[in-house]
Amino acid sequence: MPPVPPNIADLMQLFVSNTPGLVYQFILQADGTVSFPYLSEGCAALLGLPAAELQQHPERFLELIVPEDRQGYLDAMHASARALTGWNWEGRIWVQEYGDQKWINLRSTPRALPSPPGSVHWEGIMTNITASKLEQLEVTRSRARLAELTAHIERVKEQERTRIAREIHDDLGGNLTAIKMALMMLTQRLPPDEPQLAERAAYVDALVDRTIDAVHRIALDLRPTMLDFGLVAALEWQSGEFEKQNGISCAFSSSGTDIELDVDRATALFRIFQEALTNIAKHARASQVTVRLARQDQHVVLDIADNGVGIAEDDRKKPGSFGLRGMNERARALGGTMTLSDAAGGGTRVCIKIGLDAPPAAIMQPATETGNLSQ
């Protein structure tokens, strides 16, 4: 004989008792009065309050919510009542029994019913999301700490580069100039009947010249002195150098004569720019690069577009590649964002947007906006 199916009420009870958390019905009347006509047995375990007690004193639910989260709860309820859209809220409640906070998630669906007049009814569930919420908060916190550390390392690295560049330039550069002067003096005193010595001296002189050039190049690489003349000058100079070195046309334009950025932030933006150009030279097979620096309200926007082969989705997440990640981290550390997209007519577009006066604390914000750099 087939088993007798349970009646609908028993079936519902079975579903409810197997649902994690608290199943409930909630009513908001036109005068603001609230009630819980139905609360499942999970009430005491979730809220630390027996269902009967909460039904008798429905206002206790709001009192359970920690003061900082109450307004958000009420706003979500009224928004759901007005638009008759799902009420989905997460927040903290204080559980006296444990002497601790608990994160709960509430999901319910509203219905406007004629009785009582102007009332809205919700049926839904509340669940304990403390564990996942704490994990999420920990991830956000450690992400912020990592960003802070990265920003610190970058800052120290730049300071160290500046120090080494200065020493190379001043010490080595000074000595080389002295050697060149001394060599010139000695050459003038060489006996005229010793042409091999004159040849040797000319060779050493050329060697000193090449070394002076190398010292300048290395010092400039470590710390572009153009940065001392401002961001616009530095980016324009770098665009020209890129064009000369790679034979790829690089058109730079800026919306203003200069953009006021402190030296740390200007340097970071300059390094992002260098990395973007290095990528173009290495990967894009482009013939044209367009760079635009603009001030938009309280932001600086640096837009670099090439007309090359474009960047494939998989290339953005290459495990052993750090250029794009570094650019993204630097942009975040500046309280900004980096977006990678397809340039009009093919190629790749990198857009960096940073606040003009973002406080250093910006790096502590959870990194929510990563553009379309999916890593």
213 binds, among Mg ion, ligand ATP, none (CB under 5 to 8 A by kind): none
d(CA 7, CA 300): 66
d(CA 4, CA 342): 63
Q: Which residue is nearest to ligand ATP (CB)?
A: 323
Q: Which of 318, 342, 366, 372 binds ligand ATP (CB under 6 A)?
A: 318
343 binds, among ligand ATP, Mg ion, none (CB under 5 to 8 A by kind): none
Q: Which residue is nearest to Mg ion (CB)?
A: 323
Q: Which of 323, 339, 351, 362 binds ligand ATP (CB under 6 A)?
A: 323
283 binds, among ligand ATP, Mg ion, none (CB under 5 to 8 A by kind): ligand ATP
Task: For Mg ion, give the closer residue by CB, 227 or 324.
Answer: 324
d(CA 301, CA 294): 5
Contacts of 130 (CB under 8 A, 6+ apart): 101, 102, 103
Residues between 16 and 35 that touch ligand ATP (CB under 6 A):
none
Binding status of residue 279 toward Mg ion by CB under 5 A: yes
Task: For Mg ion, give the closer residue by CB, 106 or 324.
Answer: 324
d(CA 332, CA 328): 6
d(CA 355, CA 350): 17
Binding status of residue 154 toward ligand ATP by CB under 6 A: no
Q: Which of 48, 323, 326, 355 binds Mg ion (CB under 5 A)?
A: 323
Q: What share of the chain is helix, strand, coil (3-state, %, to 5)?
A: 50, 20, 25
Burial of 93 (0-12, 13-18, 19+ CB in 10 A): buried
Q: Which of 15, 175, 282, 369 binds ligand ATP (CB under 6 A)?
A: 282
d(CA 354, CA 303): 12
Binding status of residue 274 toward Mg ion by CB under 5 A: no
Task: For ligand ATP, give the closer residue by CB, 25 or 339.
Answer: 339
CB of 134 to ligand ATP, least distance (A): 33
For 318, phi then psi, to 5°, come to: -55, 125
C-alpha distances in angstroms, 36 versus 61, 77, 86, 192? 10, 14, 18, 112
Q: Which of 35, 128, 279, 328 binds ligand ATP (CB under 6 A)?
A: 279
Q: Which of 14, 30, 309, 361 binds ligand ATP (CB under 6 A)?
A: 309
Omega into 116 within 30° of 0, i.e. cis? yes
Binding status of residue 224 toward ligand ATP by CB under 6 A: no
Per the rule left: phi > 0, alpha: psi between -120 and 50, beta: everything else, 109 is: beta
Stretch that binds ligand ATP, among 55-63, 75-83, 275-283, 363-371 (CB under 6 A): 275-283
Task: For Mg ion, give the closer residue by CB, 225 or 375.
Answer: 375
Binding status of residue 291 toward ligand ATP by CB under 6 A: no
Stretch that binds ligand ATP, among 8-16, 145-153, 239-247, 308-316 (CB under 6 A): 308-316
Strand partners, 352: 302, 338
CB of 370 to Mg ion, least distance (A): 18
Question: Structure tokens of 120?
Answer: 């809205």
For 296, phi then psi, to 5°, come to: -125, 110
DSSP state of 375: -
Binding status of residue 65 toward ligand ATP by CB under 6 A: no
302 binds, among ligand ATP, Mg ion, none (CB under 5 to 8 A by kind): none
| Residues forming the site for Mg ion (CB under 5 A) | 279, 323
| Residues forming the site for ligand ATP (CB under 6 A) | 279-280, 282-284, 306, 308-309, 311, 315, 318, 321-324, 348
